[in-house]
A and B are shown apart, each in its own frame.
Chain A
Amino acid sequence: MRVTIHATGLGLLFLALMFLIGSSLAFAVEPDEVLDDPVLEARAREISREVRCPVCQNEPIDSSNAELARELRLVVRERLVAGDSDQQVKNYLADRYGDFVLFRPPVKATTYLLWAGPGLIFLFGGVGIFFFYRGSRRQKAPVPLSSDEQKKLNQLLTDKNSKGDSA
């Protein structure tokens, strides 16, 4: 029984590994899209990885199998062949589909919060943790004993002393 469980675990691990390897190798670029110039092709791949497919929204056009993604890959390559810079190609797409298609949108008034958000949350969290620990570590001033407590203490001390004498 134990052996079967372990075997299943290993099998699952293996399966997960296969998926991981498979997904990193899989890409949608078809041979007929590839440019003859390896330098331009490399730039095209790099840009394609930074451009979101508007159809399957969490995939870059580089790995999306959507027809529109294929067409956008071709557009990227055509713009590069026409002599556009990487930034010009990205602008070309953003002019049509908005900054949304860029996985790294430009820093401007509408995206300040997006870019600064994680830093701000980290900062607030850090300040919160700082005050939390400073508060808990601070020594509290001892509260003086009440008269009842003082009386009890005196009682105990005298009892002990008398016992000590007798021993």
Chain B
Amino acid sequence: MNRKVLFLLPLLVTITIFGYFFWALTSPGRDPKKLPSVLIDKPAPAFDLVELEGLNVPGFARQDLTDNGKVSVVNIFASWCIPCLAEHPYMLTLGARDDINLFAINYRDKPEDALKWLNKHGNPYHRIGRDPNSRAGIDWGVYGVPETFIVDSAGTIRYKHVGPLNTGDLENIILPIIENLQEQQ
């Protein structure tokens, strides 16, 4: 009896380990391709990005995050990024609000392409900074588009969303965090 248990032990251990791997690889929120940001609760990096010419919104610098006492949503987007188009309706919703800032970093894009894209789909952003060689993106720890950050009025990064906002993400994740930060102020 005792020996039988001993012989079964390796199998049990293996099943346990495989079970953990399966859980870790498949459970939502544990996508191994999504890196946790090390910048959460850290001050936003320094940057000063030029405007997208031809669009009547100014460029985007670090100081704009702390200038007007509002919570900021910082969206990293590019015209060549298909998922960005998928989440664009949510950006239009956010951009219509005047109690928050909606800023954008235009990531590794050609200005003419970005301009065409925004003219076609609508520009929700209050400020857009061009980041043609992704150097600002690297400082933000960006490794793909789209990514969306929530920054409090003191310039501290509070949340990072990797990938497009899907149905329900705005209501269930983004807006509650914004409201929570607004209440804290």
Residues of B within 8 A of A (CB): 6, 32-33, 35-39, 108, 133-135, 138-141, 143-144
Contact = CB atoms under 8 A, between A and B. Distances in A.
Interface stretch (A8-16, A22-30, A90-98): A90-98
Q: 8 smallest A-B Cβ distances: which pairs?
A: A54-B143, A98-B38, A96-B141, A71-B134, A97-B141, A55-B143, A100-B35, A68-B143
B134 A68 contact: yes
Given A55-B144, A96-B138, A96-B141, A71 B133 contact: yes
A52 to B, nearest CB: 10
Contacts of B35: 54, 97-98, 100
B183 to A, nearest CB: 30
Given A54-B35, A55-B144, A68-B134, A96 B139 contact: yes
Interface string A103-134: 00000000000000000000000000000100
B38 A96 contact: yes
Interface in A4-40: none
Interface string A56-73: 010000000001100110
A51 B143 CA distance: 14
A75 interface: yes
Contacts of B135: 71, 75
B15 to A, nearest CB: 16
Contacts of A68: 134, 138, 143-144
Interface of A: 54-55, 57, 67-68, 71-72, 75, 94-98, 100, 132
Contacts of B33: 57
Given A68-B144, A71-B135, 15 more contacts: A55-B143, A55-B144, A57-B32, A67-B134, A71-B133, A71-B134, A75-B138, A94-B38, A96-B38, A96-B138, A96-B140, A96-B141, A98-B35, A100-B35, A132-B6
Contacts of A95: 38
Contacts of B37: 98
Nearest to A68: B143
A54 B137 CA distance: 13
